Amino acid sequence: MISVTVTPRNRENIYGLLVKKEVELRRKSRGTLHRLGAKRKGEEKWVHNSHPGWVRFQQCLGGVLVAQVNSKAADDEWQLLSSFVGFLHRHFEQNISTINLSYGEEEG
């Protein structure tokens, strides 16, 4: 599991921007990363068409976004991570101040 912390520039709502972009891309049938399951307020779970696993994320105080990248195959986790960070870069580069990665096992 890899944790991704995204700090917005100018208190942007990165979570809201991600959700909006996913809906837009889904309508155009072009999304490789897309929501899976029921809608939950303040939390999303996305999957990728090619890389088995999921990305869960939620909005925190100050507009900070925290995500967990989980791959079904540990050796392939980097591909899912790369896809998610690439998505952030492509669509929201101007809205993001920093992206931090933390490697480790799930707690609990």
- Domain 2-103: give its CATH code: 3.30.310
Q: Do 59 and 14 touch, CB atoms closer than 8 A? A: yes
| pLDDT band of 108, cuts 50, 70, 90 | very low
pLDDT tens digits for range 25-62: 888 876 688 888 877 788 999 999 889 999 999 999 88
User: Token digits for 13?
Assistant: 């709502």
The structural domains of the chain, with segments of one domain joined by +, span: 2-103
pLDDT at residue 94 greater than cutoff 50: yes
| pLDDT band of 106, cuts 50, 70, 90 | low
The whole-number pLDDT of residue 75 equals 86
